[in-house]
Structure 1
Amino acid sequence: MKDTFRHQGKRKQLVEIVKAKGVSDEGVLAAIAKIPRHLFMDSSFEDHAYQDKAFPIAAEQTISQPFTVAFQSELLQVQPGEKILEIGTGSGYQTAVLCELGAKVYSIERQQELYVKTKRFLTQIGYRPKYLNFGDGYKGLPTYAPFDKIIVTAGAPFVPNPLLAQLKVGGRLVIPVGDDPQIMTLFIRKSAKEFEKKEFGEFRFVPMLEDKN
């Protein structure tokens, strides 16, 4: 598992691409510059690791496009020490970004193959989320709620009520909503019953599936 000067140079180029598309959060850009994305992918795709594209990983899932990861992370407005729930651990790349930003990350993955592989891999490369769970993302993690922020990394046909319920007042939920494509949506919890909703254009994610476990 090598991270060479060549890889680091390619990451700098990737950061410039992400910046050019509108991401300006310095913490997020620093995380993209630091994290060895090529290690999160099959070695046969290594040459593609620092292109701004999504790529296949195990269990018919994908590692998200770097711009999408950066954009969602910027919308979250992560502060060090915050409790963040991630729905869809996947490759662990978004998890690593949240860890780099200083968050206490709680993450759920519904594909057992990915859950086992990613849990082991994140530890190997030095990222230690607070809790990784094999389970149904639609249900969230009520045991550990409430959360400062919640991020969903799969396309949700609707907004799961348990996720809204597990968000602190003042908290932010970033979720791609719809079938294909999805609309990137931000919910800010204003009170026990009131949410502010903002939309940020079309994105494409693998679907968030229900009751798979």
Structure 2
Amino acid sequence: MPKNMSIQKVSLSMVLLYGLVFFSPYIFSPFSSDIVISGTTFTYILGAGLMIWLYIINKNTAVTTVEKEAKLTSPVFIYLLGVSGIFLAMIIQAVVFGIETAITGAEPSSQNTQNIIAVILANPLFILATTIGGPIMEEFVFRRSLIGLTETYTGFWIAAIISSSLFSVIHQDGHFFVYFFMGFFFALLYKMTGKIWTSIIAHCGMNTLVVIAQLVMHYANIELPK
């Protein structure tokens, strides 16, 4: 049982686990689309569960600088910042989308989100991967693990920029700055409380609201003005 691991070992384990989960759809690719979606959903939830387990059993030895120096560690702040972060994250997303659209003339829509909604419509079970499994893993990897691995050498701000850049690239959406600023905002939530649960609440909540809004527009046949 991997107890009393250092933050470096826990972080590297989570990054490796995320990589395995990220490429898991290729394992199921020879089978039907339903099996691919169900299998991917299972691996996402399993991956998130394993990361939570690794975090809990090593919480006394695997501690980041952010967690050591945090001031607002009260559960009250974790809850309030996490919940308010849901709506602030959506505002940031909308603002950056608007600026990006005004500058580049690109469509103010996310292909990544549209692809996810298409999969959910084909198999509603996948909603668990996008609203729970995926966000939890991304927070443990891009906020806690990557920042934990690099902040000793670069300081928090550079580490946050690096992790946010990778967070954006991994989404392969074409909206680099939208995902970059989202990632940076989640990193700030983590820094403020020193608890990864804060950014997890905000990330899971935002994804849930986005999915619900997209599904409502789909079933109500609502199209956004162009």
| Same fold, judged at TM 0.5 (above) | no
Q: From the CA coordinates, give the structure whose radius of gyration is larger.
A: 2
TM range (shorter): under 0.3
TM-score, structure 1 normalization: 0.24
TM-score (normalizing by structure 2): 0.23
